[in-house]
Structure 1
Amino acid sequence: MTDMTGWSVERLHDDHAQALREEQVHYDSKTDHQRLRVFENPTFGRVLTLDGVVQTTEGDNFIYHEMMSHVPILAHGDARRVLIIGGGDGGMAKTVLKHQTVQHLTMVEIDAGVVDFSKEYLPTLSDGAFDDPRLELVITDGADFMRETEGGYDVIIIDSTDPVGPGEVLFTDHFYGHAHRALSPEGILVTQNGVPFLQGDELTHTMRAFKELFRDWTCYTATVPTYAGGPMAFGWGTDGKARHTDLDTLKARFDAAAIETDYYTPEVHKAAFALPPYISRLMP
């Protein structure tokens, strides 16, 4: 067997693994429950893993965060109230708050320790977002919050872990139903739905729920290098017509926002909804 000393090996899938070299370990919880580690990789910078599974990296987090925030916000066109469930590292909040049209952002994180940890070990991800007066940080269970909130959100972003352990409840039909109720009439819900090539059931389950709840439901994709297995899927649900916003309108909104991006463009936005057959066949 090959010596993997000095490598972080991810075994999320039964028959597939990836490895990232560790130049320096900055943090290792070394506990039996949800082992949290931050290490330095020469390509991706600081890497955060949970039980050996990559959660985010300094190097490629921008793809995930830009596509989960800019796509629904610019498609909506007038998103003033945004809700993030999860996202304790602050990367999604930072990206949402780049939109000056967003007047209020509620971020719900189950563990305050994740926020403090991320500020210390991954400060570039939030980059001051937690100090923005538009951000309201709520420390509670995301499912409980969604069930009890009065709603009225223009965009809801479910920045969750995979559907195991504490994150499992964020993938249930009941949770999606509560999220639908919490949206404004033209509101948009986007969800993290894993890598369809290796996690097809996850996408199918979410899309089956969305089909029952929303007039317009589908997914879009983006390729994040450290999420092994090909393009990642993001669920999309709305009762409005935002998905069909034309390219010229998206360009005008993007120019007006004056946001610098490394992945998102209006052209990428439109193309992300074009699905290859192997993903289309996962739709109910």
Structure 2
Amino acid sequence: MQGLHLTADLYDCRCADGLMTDAKQLADLCRNHTLAAGLTLVDEKWYAFPPYDGQPGGVTGMLLLAESHLAVHTWPEKRAVTLDVYVCNFTTDNSGKAEALLREIVAAFEPGKSEIHHLERGGDRRPPDEIILEPLNAAGDAVYGFRSRERLLVKRSPHQTIEVLDTPAFGRALRIDGHFMTSEGEEYFYHEALVHPAAVAHGKPERVLIIGGGDGGAAEEVLKHSSVQQVVLAELDAEVVQVAKAHLGAIHRGVFDDPRLSLRIGDGFAYVRDTSDRFDLVLLDLTDPETPAGLLYTEAFFENLRRVMNPGAAVVLHVGTPVFEAEQVRTIVRGLRHVFPQVHCFGLYVPLYGAYWGFALASDRLNPTAVPRAVVEKRAAALPALSYYNADVHYGLFALPNFYRALVQEPVQPEAKRAVG
């Protein structure tokens, strides 16, 4: 299968009409240029389509070559042509012949515009890196992406499609249902921001609930706090945990073997509804709201969370990008404000997510920005070496740009008008 595959899309072709509609004329052209290029004709087939709706019919044809094939399709009503040349290079390099053939046929159609692609296929060489693109919003009018050397794993669990990619930028990256979740090279941006501002502000969290977080990255950060006695990790999909154990050790760093971690596989909504446990910190380390995790971003779920939180406890979650998902961010934060007296939004650029990303910390009384600086410095210094979070970052995270502040600011309710008697 080693060979060269050339494709060409031709637009605004200025050639004589016969070349677009006459099968014999087109076949003669292709046959002559094929033989002139030194390629070997084996067989051929051509078909001229009848006129349709007052428009002339086009021609489809193919030359079968000993080296592979040439295919041509014309659309005279659009003055457009597509060409396809593939040659095998297993015993002899036929690339030059293929290039010459395509060049001469393209010239014969005299296109005003052309798009030509070269694809090296097969052989012992390493396949080219795959470019993985992901939309930043539902409309898909903004995208970002990364190169992937190899898909180390692709599997369908009962709940979602899970992928592990080997990326040049960040090493191994986890994708779920087509969305990047975490990666070896930059996981600390997200996980340290999710965990440490709330844990440091609280000062002494002992029992922590993580809903989602099956990659183990959040749990690993939580257990850097010496006060933590138990972490309950409620993950919907057991397959995510198994994939993390097998492929993402640089992210979880063996946290699944820590006796303080209690793994609960199942629905996080149901766990919160049914449990009698109480927690000092709740982390919603979830997939996006349009996924099976959608119910966990609702006001009804926030009401349930308040029941399992000790006085002074906090819940932290990501709310999406305020740049590209403004309405989603506004809706989630509004739901939090209807349940919790203290709601503090923060944000940072997360490289794997390709944007400035929003988070929210909610509590009955904990205000992370009101903790004295000396206290934050002392608590942060007691943590093992971190890559992102420190005392300066603690306060900086909550310093919102004006557009984000306006987005999540609770509107001031007008005073009730006095009745005039």
TM-score, normalization by structure 1: 0.94
| Partner residue of 1:247 out of 368, 373, 385 | 373
Aligned 8 A contact 1:7 1:21 in 2: yes
Aligned-residue CA RMSD (Å): 2.0
Alignment of 1:260-279 (within 5 A): 260-279=385-404
| Partner residue of 1:237 out of 352, 359, 362 | 362
For 1:98 and 1:38, the matched residues in 2 are separated by 26
Q: Does 1:225 align with 2:351?
A: yes
| Partner residue of 2:227 out of 80, 101, 104 | 101
- Runs of 5+ unmatched residues, structure 2: 1-114, 118-127, 411-421
For 1:147 and 1:210, the matched residues in 2 are separated by 17
For 1:63 and 1:266, the matched residues in 2 are separated by 15
Partner of 1:258: 383
For 2:132 and 2:309, the matched residues in 1 are separated by 40
Partner of 2:130: 6
Aligned 8 A contact 2:212 2:268 in 1: yes
- Aligned sequence identity (%): 34
Alignment of 1:1-284 (within 5 A): 6-13=130-137, 14-29=140-155, 34-229=160-355, 231-243=356-368, 244-255=370-381, 257-283=382-408, 284=410
Aligned residues: 282
- The answer to which structure has the higher helix fraction is 1
For 2:286 and 2:159, the matched residues in 1 are separated by 18
Structure 2 counterpart of 1:45, one-letter code: G
- The answer to which structure has the higher strand fraction is 2
For 2:116 and 2:202, the matched residues in 1 are separated by 50
How big is each residue's C-alpha offset from its partner over 1:7-37, in whole Å with a ceiling of 9 and x where there is no partner?
1111352201112111122112279984322
For 2:374 and 2:321, the matched residues in 1 are separated by 30
Three-state SS of the structure 1 residue aligned to 2:273 is helix
Structure 2 counterpart of 1:39, one-letter code: L
- Runs of 5+ unmatched residues, structure 1: none
Three-state SS of the structure 2 residue aligned to 1:68 is helix
For 1:64 and 1:2, the matched residues in 2 are separated by 41
Call closer, same or farther: CA 1:25–1:174 in 2, change over 3 Å.
same
| Alpha-carbon offset, residue 51 of structure 1 | 2.7
Deviates more, 1:11-20 or 1:100-109: 11-20
Call closer, same or farther: CA 1:259–1:35 in 2, change over 3 Å.
same
Call closer, same or farther: CA 1:95–1:32 in 2, change over 3 Å.
closer
Call closer, same or farther: CA 1:207–1:31 in 2, change over 3 Å.
closer
Aligned 8 A contact 2:129 2:150 in 1: no
For 2:284 and 2:278, the matched residues in 1 are separated by 16
| Alpha-carbon offset, residue 117 of structure 1 | 1.1
Three-state SS of the structure 2 residue aligned to 1:163 is coil
| Alpha-carbon offset, residue 106 of structure 1 | 0.7
For 2:196 and 2:390, the matched residues in 1 are separated by 9
Aligned 8 A contact 2:195 2:283 in 1: yes
Structure 1 counterpart of 2:133, one-letter code: V
| Alpha-carbon offset, residue 52 of structure 1 | 2.3
| Alpha-carbon offset, residue 48 of structure 1 | 1.4
Call closer, same or farther: CA 1:30–1:85 in 2, change over 3 Å.
closer
For 1:250 and 1:16, the matched residues in 2 are separated by 38
Aligned 8 A contact 1:65 1:92 in 2: yes
How big is each residue's C-alpha offset from its partner over 1:41-76, in whole Å with a ceiling of 9 and x where there is no partner?
111111111232111111111111001111111000
Structure 2 counterpart of 1:11, one-letter code: P
| Alpha-carbon offset, residue 253 of structure 1 | 1.2
Call closer, same or farther: CA 1:33–1:103 in 2, change over 3 Å.
closer
Structure 1 counterpart of 2:284, one-letter code: I
For 2:376 and 2:319, the matched residues in 1 are separated by 24
Aligned 8 A contact 1:8 1:52 in 2: no
Aligned 8 A contact 2:342 2:367 in 1: no
| Alpha-carbon offset, residue 108 of structure 1 | 0.2
Structure with higher RCO (Cα < 8 A, 6+ apart): 1
